[in-house]
Structure 1
């Protein structure tokens, strides 16, 4: 079954580099899976080690994303696109995220690539989870004549880290999935760069053998992500960076951003 799906694996590494008020950095290996939302049921039927909304070695649970309810993900996203005046036409919607491993997952960031029927990108949806159980998304249109790397910006509206101010601007730079994928996010204040993060990975076709190999390389990835977040928070706190209390959650589940000129 390998090679018959748009969905696939991306094996690589993530880096974080904090510039101020204290320098701090990390790098660790991880992977993302690319899911075409219209392929999820076929993946469930075609792979013994992957299931949708059921326990397995690898699994995808719809309620882990967006509104966290039974409404289909495509329907939710197309509703956001319609509200933003982007007129979805039924084109593919693909998601980059960490799946559940042995029933457990945590995604600080998931990226939805929303396409038109002709295959061009119409919008990106960046879904952010924090460690206190909250979720928020940033929806940013992609220009109709766009090609190559996607560059977009958005003002921060959602509390993520107790060591980061809210008065920041995000800049996203995405190399869409192909032989490689790259998702870079920076946060800047009025004086300049505060933090830069990036995931970069190489494509691997989906198969049960590939899933076994990926699990062997990353057996407890989701737990590693959560543990890593708290360990790095402790290291940052010990460097004397002040703690920020969480503000109220945004009233709307989605914040609109803007594309940058090419």
Structure 2
């Protein structure tokens, strides 16, 4: 049986509507990593290493709570605390790897499956450029191939966006392709649309070298691009919002509409 882990290549785009219009579009790639396959990837791939320096690398402590490095155990603890099935199902992470030792991911996504193979939850992990992170967990029902969910904003990301806003997600989990769109709205309506569209490729050394050459130093360009686009927005006259303290809880668990109506929060 072939591995689930794969390379995904495509683009990300943002369209800001208010108070000044602004657009951006960049080519990107990401890895879909089945957490159980990480040791195999470490052995088989020459240009990818687990927890060590290489052309491409993955460090489990870059994600969630940076504790022991047992990423599966940490995700299972989140699922268990939220009342979901926690043992035995696949956990797959869509994220950008470290490149030459450097990594920054504005958004990484864990797809959490039950033992029977059904998707039971999506865990969004958001990092800002101030060294902070926060997660949103959405239990999944029987919505179909394209999932929709929404929640109130809990975590400061952009200095040009207020906290009193709401997110709406539309996501197609990765198979031969992957897509997500996120709208950000306040009481006056939509303010920003973000989209990401990627296509699956085999994950091997040749493919990794190819994307390194076609997307050189991607993770460094991501952080540079964030600051460059911020400068352009600021030059357009968009004001800054003061950064509040991070949420007191590391995870926001947003109740499935078929289970409960209210939102919950848990501390892991």
Structures share a fold, TM > 0.5?
yes
Give the superposition deviation at 1:8: 0.4
SS in 2 for 1:117: coil
Matched-pair contact (CA < 8 Å) for 1:153–1:258: no
Give the superposition deviation at 1:196: 0.8
Give the superposition deviation at 1:161: 0.7
1:142 aligns with one of 134, 140, 143: 140
1:32 aligns with one of 30, 43, 47: 30
* Alignment correspondent of 1:123: 121
Distance in 2 (CA, whole Å) between partners of 1:80 and 1:62 is 16
Structure 2 gap segments, 5+ residues each: 259-268
1:11 aligns with one of 9, 12, 19: 9
Distance in 1 (CA, whole Å) between partners of 2:20 and 2:257 is 29
* Alignment correspondent of 1:92: 90
Bigger shift: residues 162-171 or 86-95: 86-95
Matched-pair contact (CA < 8 Å) for 1:94–1:112: yes
Q: How does 1:1-262 map to 2 (within 5 A)?
A: 4-143=2-141, 145-259=142-256
Give the superposition deviation at 1:258: 4.2
The C-alpha deviation readout for 1:213-236, integer Å capped at 9, x for no partner, is: 111111110111001100110111
Matched-pair contact (CA < 8 Å) for 1:154–1:256: no
The C-alpha deviation readout for 1:143-193, integer Å capped at 9, x for no partner, is: 1x3321111111111010110000111111111111101122111111211
Distance in 2 (CA, whole Å) between partners of 1:69 and 1:85 is 22
Considering only aligned residues, what root-mean-square deviation do their CA atoms show, in Å?
1.3
Distance in 2 (CA, whole Å) between partners of 1:178 and 1:42 is 20
SS in 1 for 2:144: coil
Distance in 1 (CA, whole Å) between partners of 2:230 and 2:21 is 13
Matched-pair contact (CA < 8 Å) for 2:10–2:197: yes
Bigger shift: residues 80-89 or 51-60: 80-89
Number of residue equivalences: 258
Distance in 2 (CA, whole Å) between partners of 1:135 and 1:175 is 24
Give the superposition deviation at 1:259: 4.6
Structure 1 gap segments, 5+ residues each: none
TM-score by length of 2: 0.93
The C-alpha deviation readout for 1:98-125, integer Å capped at 9, x for no partner, is: 0001111100000000001111111000
Distance in 2 (CA, whole Å) between partners of 1:84 and 1:90 is 16
List structure 1 segments (4+ residues) > 6 angstroms apart after TM superposition: none
Distance in 1 (CA, whole Å) between partners of 2:236 and 2:148 is 32
Matched-pair contact (CA < 8 Å) for 2:85–2:114: no
Distance 1:71 1:30, change over 3 A: closer
Distance in 2 (CA, whole Å) between partners of 1:70 and 1:190 is 41
